[in-house]
Copies of this chain bind each other. A is one copy, B any other.
């Protein structure tokens, strides 16, 4: 008898592959199938002999998969897939379009409640672990300020923006937090920081042959929303160098709460991540929360949840007693 949690993956890009890998180190979970919109016969899994199926076959797996981990994008995949798949399975996803979270939450909540399933949305590190730390720190030190810094890491959105500039063949953008700002926050100075003072943007750009480098640089630096409010550096490199030095997807960041208690005693709470691979780490968070989704479901706690609703014990394969002895 198989008492493991049966898991499915929807979407086999970097995130889906990260989930597949993460499941290998979880003793109580097993990958049953990967669902794709591509031709399943053209996909070979990296680390598993699970089945590869078309997303059109999802229905056939109702009752056979305990939690479906949705690895599509927030722009166009999840707004549609989230509520749809929540009608059939418990789900976990990394929906991260902040402004649309209330609307997405409602849609998934309704679908999951109607179907008596549990869905945990917006899991990852931001939104996700960073959100959790913002909440904890603010609840504990109400009198204070919270600062979030991102990086050093590759921003997919900003890299895409660079690549849309005419004359750019390829490019990668790194978001880099400014050490001076972080140090001021760590000293408990509660500074008011402008966008420019918090982060620096570094762009490695491969130009097309004969392109006007000066125009490209100015166009990037003055791009509204993406770069205009920042100090931005543009560095032109060859395609070979881009491939050799900038093909990894590192990321990370800091959530720092600087608060006070009586007599102006200062307290600094800092949470930080330094990640070699953003998608693999995000995938690892999704997998731990898949365990939680299944626990909620077993307790008949249906509907949509966020990281704020999950008792930390639900993330661990250990029992409450084991946790108290080993980790408390």
| Contact residues in B for A311 (Cβ distance below 8 Å) | 308-311
| Contact residues in B for A313 (Cβ distance below 8 Å) | 135, 308-309
Question: Once the chains are docked, how many angstroms separate the CA of A29 from the CA of B263?
Answer: 21
Complex contact B328–A131 (CB within 8 A): yes
Question: Once the chains are docked, how many angstroms separate the CA of A25 from the CA of B265?
Answer: 14
Question: Once the chains are docked, how many angstroms separate the CA of A186 from the CA of B274?
Answer: 9
Query: Which of A136-144, A168-176, A215-223, A233-241 touches B?
Result: A136-144
| Contact residues in B for A141 (Cβ distance below 8 Å) | 284
Verify if A55 is at the interface (C-beta below 8 Å from B): no
**Set B105, B136, B328: member contacting A315, Cβ < 8 A:** B136
Interface string of A292-321 (1 = CB under 8 A from B): 000000000000001111111101110011
Given contacts A131-B328, A288-B140, contact A280 B268 (CB under 8 A): no
| Chain B residue nearest to A187 in the complex (CB) | B274
**Set B186, B261, B308: member contacting A22, Cβ < 8 A:** B261
Question: Once the chains are docked, how many angstroms separate the CA of A324 from the CA of B96?
Answer: 12
Complex contact A306–B280 (CB within 8 A): no
Size class of the A contact interface (CB-based, 8 Å):
35 or more
Residues 251-287 (chain A) with a chain B CB within 8 angstroms: 259, 261-263, 265-277, 280-281, 283-285, 287
Complex contact B261–A277 (CB within 8 A): yes
Complex contact A135–B312 (CB within 8 A): yes
Question: Once the chains are docked, how many angstroms separate the CA of A197 from the CA of B220?
Answer: 49
Complex contact B280–A308 (CB within 8 A): no
Residues of A within 8 A of B (CB): 18, 21-22, 24-27, 46-47, 98, 101-102, 105, 122, 127, 129, 131-132, 134-136, 138-143, 186, 259, 261-263, 265-277, 280-281, 283-285, 287-288, 291, 306-313, 315-317, 320-321, 323-325, 327-328
Residue contacts A-B, CB under 8 angstroms, 17 given: A101-B328, A122-B328, A129-B136, A129-B140, A132-B312, A135-B312, A139-B315, A139-B316, A261-B276, A265-B277, A265-B280, A267-B276, A267-B277, A268-B275, A272-B272, A306-B323, A308-B313
